[in-house]
Amino acid sequence: MDEREVEVVLAAVQRPERRRETLEDRVTAAEDRAVIRDLIMAYGYLEDARRWDDMLAMYTDDIERVLAGSLVETVRGRDALRERLYAPAMVTSSGTPYPKQAHLDSLGLRHLMTTDVIRLHDDGLGAVAVAQYLMVATRDDAEGFRRGCHEGSYVFEFRKVSGRWYFCRQLVITDNAHNPLFREEIEH
């Protein structure tokens, strides 16, 4: 992560949150955090399973996904994001095209997410969460079993609509292009 990315992550982690005074407010805040944490974990499982439409159902129509770190891309809107998920066309921060869909589809993926911090907005209708992750990619083919991994950070923003939480923005600070199994296709 560069210094600007570190500052964005720390701003979310250190975001002040008003103290919930009543028991009802504290219970609501605890329930909201549990739902948000479940959304974050479900996102990882759905991403790994490439269950794009199930994942997109957790997003607002105006979702914005920003890739930073070793990948560069900004996508706005659920329909535009659906197109990118089904047919990725990403570019590394050095300008190199990212691996082809067939190569990505040949990999097993596992998002291992941890150290989440969730901050609720004072109005109870928004939230920001940060999580660190390790993504492990695997392949078992004629060349044998291989594994590569990379690290990253998420800064998720959420919006509560009609009593339900949705992702409305994702900043993914990734080291993805340095994963040997992803880089393999780029270099060939």
Res. 74 pLDDT band, cuts 50 70 90: very high
3-state helix, strand, coil in the chain (%, to 5): 35, 40, 20
Domain locations in the chain as residue ranges: 3-187
- Mean pLDDT over 76-102 rounds to 81
Measure the CA–CA gap between 85 and 107, rounded to whole angstroms. Answer: 15
Query: Does position 187 have pLDDT exceeding 60, yes or no?
Result: no
Residue recorded with tokens 């993926």? 109
- The per-residue pLDDT for range 139-162, each reduced to its tens digit, is 998 989 999 999 999 999 999 999
Average pLDDT of the chain is 91
Q: By the 8 A CB rule, do 168 and 60 touch?
A: yes
- Mean pLDDT over 125-146 rounds to 94
Q: By the 8 A CB rule, do 63 and 157 touch?
A: no
Structure tokens, 186: 């780029």
Report whether CATH 3.10.450.50 matches the domain 3-187. yes
Kindly state the DSSP code that residue 177 receives in the 8-state scheme: G
